[in-house]
Amino acid sequence: MVDSGRTPALFVDRDGTLMVDLHYLAEADRLEIYRGVTEALSLARAHGLRLVCVTNQSGIERGLVTDEDVRRIHARLNERLRPHGAEIDAFYYCPHLPERGCRCRKPGTELFERARRDLNLDIARSAIVGDRWLDIEAGRRLGIPTALVPPPGHEAEIEAELRAHGAMPDIRARTFRAAVLRLLARG
Ligand SMILES: [Mg+2]
Ligand SMILES: [Zn+2]
């Protein structure tokens, strides 16, 4: 069998997962990466996973955030991660309002499919970490392991949301780092 050269990815949500969710953040100066995230991303990278961030940014269509703001935040995030070997390989975002019913907003899988084509990813060997039901549901639709990391203080509300949508993560962890370690241990 010829090796296809396809690489697995660690798909990560952005707000509430990599960084504190500041609700329609427009200023890159305010971004706050959670403790342990940088280390965990660099570990995943060292394990040969591509790092792909897929994020819903409806603040764009709401007129609260611009495409340029979002791109600036992603650039700033990578400026912080790069010195630690934890750079995100690619960011994908949906700018639409939920009611538009687009296919790129999570739990839709269109952005993941785009990443697969752009980066020649092996989706079947990939995994996803997120803080909400939509991340878990996107992972279920892709058929990959899912890890939930609820932001501190929001556990009950996140669990209620999961139940309401019938979403069931494979892994529940208290920190992003713990989630990544457990996903890597699954092989
Ligand atoms: Mg989130
Ligand atoms: Zn969309």
Task: State the distance from the centre of ligand 2 to the C-alpha of 50, rounded, in angstroms.
Answer: 23
Residues 166-175: tens digit of each pLDDT: 999 999 999 9
The whole model's pTM is what? Answer: 0.95
Task: State the distance from the centre of ligand 1 to the C-alpha of 107, rounded, in angstroms.
Answer: 12
pLDDT value of residue 172: 96
Task: State the distance from the centre of ligand 1 to the C-alpha of 10, rounded, in angstroms.
Answer: 15
Of the listed ligands, the closest to the CA of 95 is: 2
Looking at the domain assignment, is residue 114 inside a domain? yes
Task: State the distance from the centre of ligand 2 to the C-alpha of 105, rounded, in angstroms.
Answer: 4
Domain that includes residue 161, residue range: 14-185
CATH code of residue 113 = 3.40.50.1000
Mean pLDDT of 83-104: 97
Of the listed ligands, the closest to the CA of 138 is: 1
The answer to whether the Cα torsion of 115, 119, 122, 127 is positive or negative is negative
**% of the chain exceeding 70 in pLDDT:** 97
Residues 48-86: tens digit of each pLDDT: 999 999 999 999 999 999 999 999 999 999 999 999 999
Query: For residue 41, which of 129, 115, 146, 119 has the smallest C-alpha distance?
Result: 129
pLDDT band at 5 (very low <50, low <70, confident <90, very high): confident
Looking at the domain assignment, is residue 1 inside a domain? no
Count of domains forming the chain: 1
Surrounding residues of ion ligand 2, Cβ less than 5 A: 94, 96, 102, 104-105
pLDDT band at 8 (very low <50, low <70, confident <90, very high): very high
Task: State the distance from the centre of ligand 2 to the C-alpha of 72, rounded, in angstroms.
Answer: 19
Looking at the domain assignment, is residue 8 inside a domain? no
| Structure-block tokens of residue 106 | 């999570």
Looking at the domain assignment, is residue 6 inside a domain? no
Mean pLDDT of 19-39: 87
Active site residues: 13, 15
Q: Which amino acid is at 34?
A: Y
Helices and strands counted in the chain (H then E): 6, 6
pLDDT value of residue 59: 95
pLDDT band at 23 (very low <50, low <70, confident <90, very high): confident
Looking at the domain assignment, is residue 9 inside a domain? no
Count of alpha carbons within 13 Å of 17, Cβ hemisphere only?
Answer: 29
Name every residue whose Cβ is closer than 8 Å to that of residue 107 and which is 6 or more positions away in sequence: 133, 134, 135, 137, 138, 140, 141
